[in-house]
């Protein structure tokens, strides 16, 4: 069970310098729309959850609030900052880079910012990759295209060598934009910096298109991803309706978490079945998926399945293959379902038209939509405020509409997924009218 101690954020030293933003926040106190710097944000959000802990108010688990402070730790005139993007692509990466640079330059007066290329690989000398000086002019228009101007990569690098590079480059702050594996790397870098006492702060802006990092609210880029995925679902529906016994299958990203599948299906109510890693299903038998698809096609003339890439892996051969990040290679559940559905109809001597859509790489490489772009800007601003105040070994997030600081170790201690007992999955079942249990 989480405790107050679990949520304490580390610092590299005291804040004694008056912030350039002191006039922005001077005299502000907590109200309905703002949380003061000395206030904290409750972990629990219902009376029953709070009551069940049986703790006095000052011992309840709470998050440090995000936002500018009147006093900061780093002197902007002598601060050098590094930015690195790691892991797979996601809408909004360039937006975050841009907002970090603009906040540092225009509000804190930090003019020395380096962008390290191709993820952590750019932080080890043997890569031969030289960092890019980042100015307001350099980043002015990068948000208009997807991907990351800095490049990215997967795979671990030696932590000691990375910290040697940070020290050699004279960095005060490193911003890491990446997923859970990248955040584990950031945690190890921060720990090594603290062990050496070099005063370098490490702050993460967590990125996961699957939305599977806990305690940060919603990941940036996720809204853009499910909005784009919903367009493929609409196309699958149109194709299925135009054919005799038409069945559309849309495979979306989601190795361990079915959030994109759920939200994209809810966005247009065109899906008849949503399959996610968190909810197992049987293929055969009267209550199996194939029987339910048959009944839906008999009733409506067509059916659309939305499938997260990690769903139904129990029906596929197990492989020992892994990617550069150490993730086990998944079987292609979309193609598998296409084949077993075709075999089912063919065995009965019936006509079926199958259309298979797999929009994953198209989705993750597009620019952020306006809502995500706003979120990226606010996350980046919050990250800069935290770093300049000397916070380290932490990530920024938005917990129930409040921006918060979360220790990296706490956001990487478990996976985050769709709860089969939660209200999101209930909404999906209501939208699709699929059985609540197909096992």
pLDDT in tens, 180-206: 889 999 999 999 999 999 999 999 999
Contact 225, 36 (CB under 8 A): no
The answer to whether residue 7 scores a pLDDT higher than 70 is yes
Sequence-distant (≥ 6) Cβ neighbours of residue 306 within 8 angstroms: 229, 233, 250, 252, 261, 264, 265, 271, 273, 274, 275
Has this prediction a pTM greater than 0.85?
A: yes
Active site residues: 210
What does the block give as tokens for 351?
């006509």
How far apart CA 357 and CA 348 sit, in angstroms, is 25
Q: Which residue has the tokens 């926040």?
A: 25
Average pLDDT, the chain: 94
Which residues are annotated binding-site positions for Mg(2+)?
A: 180
pLDDT at 332: 92
| Banded model confidence at residue 178, pLDDT cuts 50, 70, 90 | very high
Which residues are annotated binding-site positions?
A: 88, 154-155, 179-182, 208-210, 253-255, 309, 361-364
The answer to whether residue 324 scores a pLDDT higher than 90 is no
The answer to whether residue 5 scores a pLDDT higher than 60 is yes
pLDDT at 323: 60
Strand pairing category for 273-275 and 302-308: parallel
pLDDT at 79: 98
SS3 126: helix
Q: pLDDT (tens digit, 9 = 90+) per residue, 258-289? A: 999 999 999 999 999 999 999 999 999 999 99
| 119 alpha carbon, distance to own chain's centre | 17
Contact 218, 252 (CB under 8 A): no
The percent helix, strand, coil of the chain (3-state, each to 5) is 40, 20, 40
Q: pLDDT (tens digit, 9 = 90+) per residue, 359-414? A: 888 888 899 999 999 999 999 999 999 999 999 999 999 988 999 999 999 999 88
The answer to whether residue 319 scores a pLDDT higher than 80 is no
Q: For 163-168, which contacts have Cβ atoms below 8 Å and span 24 or more sequence positions?
A: 163/189, 163/192, 163/193, 163/196, 163/198, 163/200, 165/123, 165/124, 165/125, 166/82, 166/123, 166/193, 166/198, 166/200, 167/196, 167/198, 167/200
The answer to whether residue 144 scores a pLDDT higher than 70 is yes
Task: Average the pLDDT over 16-39 and give the result.
Answer: 91
The answer to whether residue 140 scores a pLDDT higher than 90 is yes
Alpha-carbon torsion angle 305, 308, 314, 317, nearest 10: 100
Sequence-distant (≥ 6) Cβ neighbours of residue 386 within 8 angstroms: 9, 66, 203, 394, 396, 405
Contact 395, 204 (CB under 8 A): yes
What end-to-end distance do the CA atoms of the chain give, in Å?
A: 31
Which residues are annotated binding-site positions for ATP?
A: 88, 154-155, 179-182
Q: For 338-346, which contacts have Cβ atoms below 8 Å and span 24 or more sequence positions?
A: 338/249, 340/283, 340/290, 341/247, 341/249, 341/290, 341/293, 344/290, 344/294, 345/245
DSSP 192-216: HHHHHT---EEEEEE--TT---TTS
Contact 196, 160 (CB under 8 A): no
Burial of 362 per CB tally in 10 Å (0-12, 13-18, 19+): middle
Which residue ranges form the domains of the chain, and what is each CATH number? 5-219+368-411 (3.40.50.450), 223-365 (3.40.50.460)
How far apart CA 103 and CA 31 sit, in angstroms, is 25
pLDDT at 360: 81
Contact 198, 167 (CB under 8 A): yes
Task: Average the pLDDT over 419-430 and give the result.
Answer: 95
Counts for the chain of helices (H) and strands (E), in that order:
14, 17
How far apart CA 340 and CA 204 sit, in angstroms, is 43
Q: Express as a percent the part of the chain with pLDDT over 90.
A: 82
How far apart CA 222 and CA 209 sit, in angstroms, is 5
């Amino acid at each position: 069970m989480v405790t107050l101690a679990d949520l304490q954020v580390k610092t590299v030293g005291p804040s004694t310098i008056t912030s350039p933003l002191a006039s922005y926040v001077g005299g502000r106190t907590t109200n309905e729309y703002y949380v003061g710097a000395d206030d904290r944000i409750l972990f629990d959000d219902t009376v029953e959850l709070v009551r069940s802990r049986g703790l006095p108010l000052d011992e309840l688990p709470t998050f440090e609030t995000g936002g500018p402070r009147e006093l900061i730790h780093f002197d902007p005139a002598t601060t050098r900052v590094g930015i690195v993007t790691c892991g797979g692509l996601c809408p909004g990466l360039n937006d975050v880079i841009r907002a970090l640079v603009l906040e540092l330059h225009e509000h804190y007066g930090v003019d020395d910012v380096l962008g390290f290329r191709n993820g952590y690989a750019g932080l080890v000398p043997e890569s031969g990759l030289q960092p890019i000086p980042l100015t307001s002019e350099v980043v002015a228009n990068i948000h208009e295209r997807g991907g990351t101007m800095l490049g990215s990569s997967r795979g671990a690098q030696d932590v000691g060598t990375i910290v040697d590079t940070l020290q050699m480059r004279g960095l005060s702050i490193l911003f890491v934009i990446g997923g859970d594996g990248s955040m584990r790397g950031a945690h190890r870098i921060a720990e090594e910096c603290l062990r050496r006492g070099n005063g370098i702060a490490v702050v993460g802006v967590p990125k996961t298109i699957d939305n599977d990092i806990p305690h940060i609210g919603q990941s940036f880029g996720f809204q853009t991803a499910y909005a784009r995925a919903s367009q493929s679902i609409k196309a699958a529906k149109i194709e299925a309706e135009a054919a005799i016994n038409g069945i559309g299958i849309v495979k979306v990203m989601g190795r361990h978490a079915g959030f994109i599948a759920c939200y994209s299906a809810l966005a247009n109510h065109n899906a008849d079945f949503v399959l996610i890693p968190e909810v197992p299903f049987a293929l055969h038998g009267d209550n199996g998926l194939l029987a339910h698809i048959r009944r839906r096609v008999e009733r409506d003339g067509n059916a659309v399945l939305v499938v997260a890439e990690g769903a139904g892996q129990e029906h596929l051969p197990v492989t020992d293959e892994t990617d550069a990040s150490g993730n086990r290679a998944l079987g292609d559940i979309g193609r598998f379902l296409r084949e077993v559905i075709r075999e089912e109809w063919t065995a009965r001597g019936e006509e079926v038209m199958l259309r298979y859509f797999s929009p994953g790489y198209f989705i993750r490489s597009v620019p952020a939509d306006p809502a995500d772009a706003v979120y990226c800007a606010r996350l980046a601003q919050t990250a800069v405020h935290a770093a300049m105040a000397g916070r380290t070994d932490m990530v920024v997030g938005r917990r129930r509409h409040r921006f918060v600081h979360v220790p990296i170790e706490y956001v990487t201690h478990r996976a985050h997924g769709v709860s089969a007992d939660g209200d999101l999955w209930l909404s999906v079942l209501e939208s699709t009218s699929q059985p609540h249990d197909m096992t």
